[in-house]
Amino acid sequence: MRSEYAIQVLLATYNGSRYLAAFLNSLLAQDCQEWCLVVRDDCSTDNTSELLGRYLPLFGDRLQILPDSGRNNLGVVGNFSRLLSASTAPYVMFADQDDIWHPDKISLTLAAMRHREVEVGTGRPILVHTDLVVVDEDLQTVAASYWRYQGLVPSRGHALGHMMVENIVWGCTSMLNRTLVDLTGEIPHEARFHDWWISLVAAAFGDIESLPVQTIDWRRHGANDSEITKLPEVVRRTVTGMPDMISRLARLLESSRPRVRLFLERYRGRLKADQIAAIEAFLDLPTLGLLARRRAVLQHRLFFTSRLRTGGLLLLV
């Protein structure tokens, strides 16, 4: 799929017709026009396809639908992976069907990307991402900044050790340059989250740029695939030492291991010795004694971006 535009916006749809029009309108309202939209529908049973058809006259050649759209259900990761493999533009951005993009989302992200490429060159993998406004189903503001809402400090989380423990990058806020796209390749289904897998690649081999600006209204409702937990709840669980905090943390780390193990298998030949050591330490945490676990966490900086969460981790490992 050839593109005459600098940016391909990759939209994975599935039964999203209730919210899709609002997203498409926000894309058309962008103050930057260097983009086209590439869509793959994952066998929707609502009127998503018909809605996309109604928008064809408004988008013209800016709207491209993949030939296998609607033929096979690949799931969220598979759908985005298929879109990524079909992309050809110098830059790609991911889009969720139920969000609202702010008018300057593309222009701000593209400016940051090009500035970074001037500094390090286009041959280096680069990921740029931003903050989000959390809204409810009716677009009422829940939190003006997702980063503050979660107690995240993304500028602390660019290293591979951090990224194994905690994902700080949401795909719907991200831009990837072509070098990162090509290095990422097919995203394994076991990765569970396409953005987390790509973040691991960027952290290991390139640069991550975190822009402290909100560029989308991130709609949270019952059909969303990810979940969020308020920082005060994390504080309460950590301070009171509730048993479920221990099990929750254990589940979090355990759910990350298959993704990290696959990452090591695919990229071992490209990774530096200290990176391999950090990955192996992360994978070995369940088998280590108490002091050895804490030593591994500190030595390889297997930290959350929140010092509170990291403190809780050291107390609970």
Separation between Cα atoms, residue 214 and residue 105, nearest integer Å = 8
Q: Measured between alpha carbons, how far is 113 from 174 in angstroms, rounded to an integer?
A: 10
Of the residues 173, 194, 219, the one at which a domain ends: 219
Are 58 and 163 in the same domain?
yes
**238 in the same domain as 190:** no
Residue 272 in any domain: the answer is yes
Q: Which residues make Cβ contacts (< 8 Å) with residue 230, sequence separation at least 6?
A: 149, 150
Both tokens of 277, joined, read 């050591």
Same domain as 249, residue 110: no
**Domain containing residue 272:** 231-316
Distance CA 52, CA 49 (A): 5
Is residue 224 situated within a structural domain?
no
CB atoms within 10 A of CB 4: 9
Question: Is residue 225 included in any domain, yes or no?
Answer: no
Backbone φ and ψ for 276, nearest 5 degrees, come out as -60, -40
**Within-domain flag for 185:** yes
The greatest distance separating any two alpha carbons of the chain, rounded to the nearest whole angstrom, comes to 64
Residues 155 and 212 in one domain: yes
pLDDT tens, residue order, the chain (317 aa): 566 899 999 999 999 999 999 999 999 999 999 999 999 999 999 999 999 999 999 999 999 999 998 888 999 999 999 999 999 999 999 999 999 999 999 999 999 999 999 999 999 999 999 999 999 999 999 999 999 998 899 988 899 999 999 899 999 999 999 999 999 999 999 999 999 999 999 999 999 999 999 999 999 875 454 555 555 555 555 455 445 555 666 677 788 899 999 999 999 999 999 999 999 999 998 888 888 888 988 888 888 777 666 666 666 56
Domain containing residue 36: CATH number: 3.90.550.10
Residues 118 and 145 in one domain: yes
- Answer yes or no: do 102 and 201 share one domain: yes
- Shared domain check, 105 and 58: yes
Q: Distance between CA atoms of 235 and 240, rounded to whole angstroms? A: 8
Do 87 and 181 form a contact (C-beta atoms < 8 A)? yes
The token pair at 249 is 């943390």
Tally the domains of the chain: 2
Whole-prediction pTM? 0.89
Q: Is residue 140 located within the same domain as residue 179?
A: yes
**78 sits in which H/E element:** helix 75-86
Mark whether 163 and 248 lie in a shared domain: no
Domain boundary (196, 219, 242) is at 219
Domain boundary among 172, 188, 219: 219
281 in any annotated domain? yes
Structural domain includes residue 2: no
- Same domain as 297, residue 255: yes
In a domain, 1, yes or no: no
Map residue 62 onto helix, strand or coil. helix
Per DSSP bridges, beta strands 126-135 and 175-177 are antiparallel
Residue 211 and residue 139 in one domain? yes
Pair 114, 214 in one domain: yes
- Per DSSP bridges, beta strands 141-143 and 207-219 are unpaired
